[in-house]
Chains A and B, each alone.
Chain A
Amino acid sequence: MRVSLFVTCLVDQLWTSVGVSSVEVLRRVGCEVEFDKRQTCCAQPAFNTGYLDEARPVAQRFIEIFEESKADAIVSPSGSCTAMVHHYPQLFAGDPEWLPRAQAIAAKTHELSSFLVRVLKVEDVGASWRGRLTWHDACHGLRDLNLKTEPRKLIRNVRGAEFVELEHADACCGFGGTFSVKYPEISVAILDQKIEAIERAGVQAVISGDASCLMQIGGRLSRKGSKVKVMHLAELLAADSRG
């Protein structure tokens, strides 16, 4: 199985270990991974803020780049970015040239845990990580991509990890893209509900499938002097007893 990695601009710039871990995991389960260095962004920030004229050419660039790939699938370690690509047909509604191209790329694009469990039918990637952890359901992954059981299956197979279900795991962390800086007080008020639940869970780490949520949660945990770590699912799955 040949996979083209859609690493996302956020991971590319701010959290490279998520990208590195994703490659590691995909290779470990037998995929060949290619990376097209021309890729930049899926256009979600512009699309979500309402700048469609700016979003469209960036989305077109994405489509063009990935169309050239001979890989079987495009895989991304981000639920929200994957969901954005799945929204491309909406962005090109009524466009006879771009709509079919958008639909084709959308059909080929998968979020990492979805790809592992639903496509490759793999639930155990041979990971091990010692400690007590919990999972935060990132909103787009949960509600746009229906990812609820897949990440949990993968986590439960991590050797040494004690998984506890977070209270209101499916409650938003308050990030919401530009919302987090347009309405920072509301964003943090929402975030604090999540932080309180994490503290009550008594875990050493919070795992999620979206780096944006982890930035939001991690940023508050560290501001509050918490010892709880945030970790991306890819990083957890890449972890093994060799360290």
Chain B
Amino acid sequence: MNNTAREAILGSIRSHLAASVPYDQQEISRGFSRMNADQNPSSSVEICGQFKASLEAVDGHCVIVQDDGGIAEALTRIIHGGRIAISDNPEILRLLNLTDLEIEELGIAPNAHDIFRFDVGVSTVQAAIAETGTLVLDSTRERHRLVSLVPPVHIAIVRASQIYRTLSEVLSLIRKDKEISPAVTFITGPSRTADIELTLAIGVHGPQELYVIIDEVN
């Protein structure tokens, strides 16, 4: 890579920092101290309910079920047939087969060229955050990067055991990987903008609708 520029920039940083030293010493100490950022105290609201409330506050839809049958029923209510793109998690195909949906076309992790013609994308997740209603998608564990982004509707299937209470817990989780995943995405609700007169419009470039089905038992 352009080493001349690199050395010039690093050199410039070092020399300017050095020039600052006499002034740093004069600065009447106004140092800001580091402290452990407080965790928000654990609420007594149970975790699935907290996730649901958080997601609904940002215009997501959430349904809590108890088993595969519940998931299948929810999928039937949300999807009305059409073209469905699913991630490569075999669970999803198994669950779809429990429904009697008339599916026009089923794509398993369609590529960038094909993904645009699907109406719905279905995936699972790798984790979720209750305090914010956030889904955590790790691209190395499931092929859902486009499925969760391009079709106008995204349905995510979550197990209660995947839900953590706080953002900071999940950040630690991601960081724990010896080699951190190349692409992790956090999703909190459907896409939105307020760029026109600060008026909220739901559904811009990402999905216009987000449904999360939580199995709170298994």
* A/B contact in complex, CB under 8 angstroms: yes
A89 to B27, CA, bound (A): 10
Task: Please provide the 8 A-B residue pairs with the shortest distance between their CB atoms, ordered closest to farther.
Answer: A94-B26, A93-B26, A89-B28, A94-B22, A93-B28, A90-B28, A93-B27, A94-B23
Tell me the smallest distance from the CB of A218 to a CB of chain B, in Å: 35
- B22-40 vs A, CB cutoff 8 Å, 1 = contact: the mask equals 1100111000000000000
Residue of B nearest to A90 (CB): B28
| A93 surroundings in chain B (CB, below 8 A) | 23, 26-28
Interface residues of A (CB under 8 A from B): 89-90, 93-94
CA distance A93 to B24 in the complex (A): 11
Considering the chains assembled together, what is the distance between the CA atoms of A94 and B27 in angstroms?
9
- For this complex, 9 residue pairs linking A to B, each with C-beta atoms less than 8 Å apart, are A89-B28, A90-B28, A93-B23, A93-B26, A93-B27, A93-B28, A94-B22, A94-B23, A94-B26
Among B22, B23, B26, max chain A CB count under 10 A is at B26
Question: How far, in angstroms, from A127 to B22 measured CA to CA in the complex?
Answer: 51
* Interface of B: prevailing SS: helix
B27 to chain A, nearest CB (A): 8
B residues 4-38 touching A (CB-CB < 8 Å)? 22-23, 26-28
User: Which residues of chain B have a CB within 8 Å of any CB of chain A?
Assistant: 22-23, 26-28
Chain A residues whose C-beta falls within 8 Å of the C-beta of B28 in the assembled complex:
89-90, 93
A89 to B26, CA, bound (A): 10
Distance between Cα atoms of A90 and B30 in the complex (Å): 12
Using CB atoms, name the residue of chain A closest to B28.
Answer: A89
In the complex, chain B residues whose CB is within 8 Å of the CB of A94:
22-23, 26
Chain A: minimal CB distance from B36 (Å): 27
Q: Please, how many angstroms separate the alpha-carbon atoms of A89 and B23 in the complex?
A: 13
Q: Name 7 extra pairs, CB < 8 A, besides A93-B26, A93-B28.
A: A89-B28, A90-B28, A93-B23, A93-B27, A94-B22, A94-B23, A94-B26
Closest beta carbon of chain A to B22's beta carbon, Å: 7
Q: Shortest beta-carbon distance, B25 to chain A, in Å?
A: 8
Whole-angstrom CA separation of A100 from B187 in the bound complex: 55
Which residues does chain A contribute within 8 Å of B23, judged by CB atoms?
93-94
CB distance from A84 to the nearest CB of B (A): 16
CB distance from B90 to the nearest CB of A (A): 59
B94 CB to closest chain A CB (Å) equals 59
Residue of A whose beta carbon sits closest to that of B25: A94
Residues of B within 8 A of A90 (CB): 28
